[in-house]
Amino acid sequence: MPHGFADPRDMQPVIEGLRIARAIGEAGAFAKYRRRELCLGPETKNDETSLRTYIEKYAQTLYHPVGTCKMGPAGDELAVVDSELRVHGVECLRVVDASIMPIIPGGNTNAPTIMIAEKAADLIKSGARKAQQEPVLSQALA
């Protein structure tokens, strides 16, 4: 997982989540369904070191990562794209995917990503229309 736990504060919620998941699985209501723990396994204790070791070995990003290309003005050193999805400092390049979403949506990322693509298409088309309507300088001077 690329830099997933670069900030030490990132590990604590995952450790706590594993402890909660274990506690739920060990609840009496699940006794008749429970045989043995498969994921962590009995060799992984509930102490912070064991859980941290397990997480560092097995954690990965699988589903719908978002938020890697912040939208903002050119003066924002963390911003990658402007409000029209154009990459700062790179001509003729836009980011048109889930990476511009600031947070993971409550549902699947498919529909919002399609909406981003539709908006980008509209922005590109409107830019092309504007370019066609503007007189070319060489023609204006002739």
Q: Is 3 a catalytic residue?
A: no
CB-CB contact of 96 with 134 (8 Å): no
Q: Which position among 22, 52, 64, 94 bears the catalytic label?
A: 64
Give the CA radius of gyration of the chain.
Answer: 24
CA dihedral of 10, 11, 12, 13, whole degrees rounded to 10: 70
Per-residue burial over 1-10, b = 16 or more CB atoms within 10 Å of its CB, e = otherwise: eeeeeeeeee
Q: DSSP letter for 11, please.
A: H
Residues with a known catalytic role: 64
